[in-house]
Amino acid sequence: MDLSRFPRRRYSQGPSPIEFLPNFTEALGGPRVWIKRDDMLGLTPGGNKTRKLEFLMGDALAAGADTLVTCGAPQSNHCRITLAAAVKEGLKCRFVIEERVPGSYHPDATGNNFMFRLLGVEAITVVPGGTNMAQAMEHVAQELRAAGRKPYIIPGGGSNAIGGLGYVACAQELQQQLLEMGQPMDYVVVGSGSSGTHGGLVAGFLGNNIHIPLVGVGVSRDPADQDPLVLKEAQAIMDLLGVNIQVPREAVLSFGDWWRPKYSVPNPAMVEAVQMLARTEAILLDPVYTGKIMAGLIGLSRKGYFKPQDNVLFLHTGGATALHAYESVVLGDPAAAA
């Protein structure tokens, strides 16, 4: 798949590393777990949104934008990384923050909220859970246009067809790395939220004939609701690329057993996963996404879905900045996080 005709900015030095996790593998009793460190990508610190922003920012600059408008939850990694990209490019940035958990936004909170202020967000509009975010962002954009400015709206999670190109690029990067390592993988485990990451990998795997099964772990929805979003995103990416591939329904698989009780609300399996990776490999996960996604990998291993001899690659999508907003939970007894 040829991505070269899409404008792209670069925010990382090169491919994100792939590492084997010997201590974690031993603690788990198999499978053999590998990790792709998208938490080490560029921007403050980076994560999966960095890859999407490379293409979204290319498009925004080509459109002559001077201000980014995006949205997210109170501890949004996407907002932090979008703001960081805006700072680097000399653009302003505004957020619409959705309080999915009522009362959860505190302007002086730590974690990503602190970063919003340190990096110099221009304005934040807080709206209640269930608000039409596209409309709320359009309002902000209208205000900016009325003031003679050029807003560029980035949807939640950066998950549209352009943002998804970042994970087509990741699929290609991964294919090249596995070739150089001489290391086949049996599965890739990926988080599935606003779906640009999962959908981008689905499109990139199909388009590049990578036949490794992709196992999605939902962070906010069960498969019945999540899989159609991922399918739609993957197809939108194919269409943008102009490749004549219909994404089959079977190309999308996710599990919904680890996100409850609610998006961003802790559970015991998340706390166990965060502690386990920190204490075996000194790698930080986050409480909202990768802790629950790794809980999925651990749970599927214990159920025998992954066999001890399988090689399973976990995509670390970032997010550890949010740990600081959840310190007492992630340090506590996992059972207390019920």
Ligand X SMILES: *Cc1c(COP(=O)(O)O)cnc(C)c1O
The C-alpha atoms of residue 211 and residue 323 are separated, in whole angstroms, by 34
The C-alpha atoms of residue 72 and residue 157 are separated, in whole angstroms, by 7
SS3 106: coil
The least distance separating ligand X from the CB of residue 194, rounded to whole angstroms, comes to 3
Q: Measured at the alpha carbon of residue 17, what is the angle toward residues 232 and 299, in degrees to the nearest 5?
A: 60
Q: Please state whether 251 falls in left (phi above 0), alpha (psi between -120 and 50) or beta.
A: alpha
Give 31 or 319: the residue with its C-beta nearer to ligand X.
319
SS3 125: strand
**Residues forming a β-bridge with 141:** none
326 sits near ligand X (criterion: CB under 6 A):
no
Range 49-78, binding ligand X (CB under 6 A): 77-78
Range 225-284, binding ligand X (CB under 6 A): none
The least distance separating ligand X from the CB of residue 48, rounded to whole angstroms, comes to 5
Q: What is the CA radius of gyration of the chain?
A: 19
104 sits near ligand X (criterion: CB under 6 A):
no
195 sits near ligand X (criterion: CB under 6 A):
yes
The C-alpha atoms of residue 14 and residue 261 are separated, in whole angstroms, by 37
Range 155-184, binding ligand X (CB under 6 A): 157, 159
SS3 181: helix
194 sits near ligand X (criterion: CB under 6 A):
yes
Distance of CA 124 to the CA centre of its chain: 22
Give 151 or 158: the residue with its C-beta nearer to ligand X.
158
Joined tokens for residue 114:
């602190």
Q: Which residue has the tokens 């019920």?
A: 338
286 sits near ligand X (criterion: CB under 6 A):
yes
Among 202, 317, 321, 330, binds ligand X (CB under 6 A): 317
193 sits near ligand X (criterion: CB under 6 A):
yes
Mark the segment that binds ligand X (CB under 6 A) among 17-25, 187-195, 246-254, 306-314: 187-195
Q: Name the DSSP class of 1.
A: -
**Residues forming a β-bridge with 313:** 34, 188
The catalytic position among 4, 12, 76, 264 is: 76
The C-alpha atoms of residue 190 and residue 201 are separated, in whole angstroms, by 9
The least distance separating ligand X from the CB of residue 31, rounded to whole angstroms, comes to 21
218 sits near ligand X (criterion: CB under 6 A):
no
The least distance separating ligand X from the CB of residue 14, rounded to whole angstroms, comes to 21
CB of 92 within 8 A of CB of 122?
yes
Give 8 or 316: the residue with its C-beta nearer to ligand X.
316
Q: How many residues bind ligand X (CB under 6 A)?
A: 20
Among 11, 205, 289, 326, binds ligand X (CB under 6 A): 289
Active site residue 192: no
113 sits near ligand X (criterion: CB under 6 A):
no
Among 192, 254, 264, 321, binds ligand X (CB under 6 A): 192
Q: Name the DSSP class of 306.
A: S
196 sits near ligand X (criterion: CB under 6 A):
yes
The least distance separating ligand X from the CB of residue 196, rounded to whole angstroms, comes to 4
Checking DSSP bridges between strand 18-20 and strand 32-37, what pairing results, if any? antiparallel
Q: Name the DSSP class of 51.
A: H
Among 191, 218, 287, 291, binds ligand X (CB under 6 A): 191
CB of 202 within 8 A of CB of 159?
no
Joined tokens for residue 68:
């980014």
Mark the segment that binds ligand X (CB under 6 A) among 12-20, 126-134, 185-193, 295-303: 185-193
Binding mask 31-50 for ligand X (x = CB under 6 A): ----------------xx--
Residues labelled as active-site residues: 76
Query: Where on the chain is the footprint of ligand X (CB under 6 A)?
Result: 47-48, 77-78, 157, 159, 191-198, 286, 289-290, 317-319
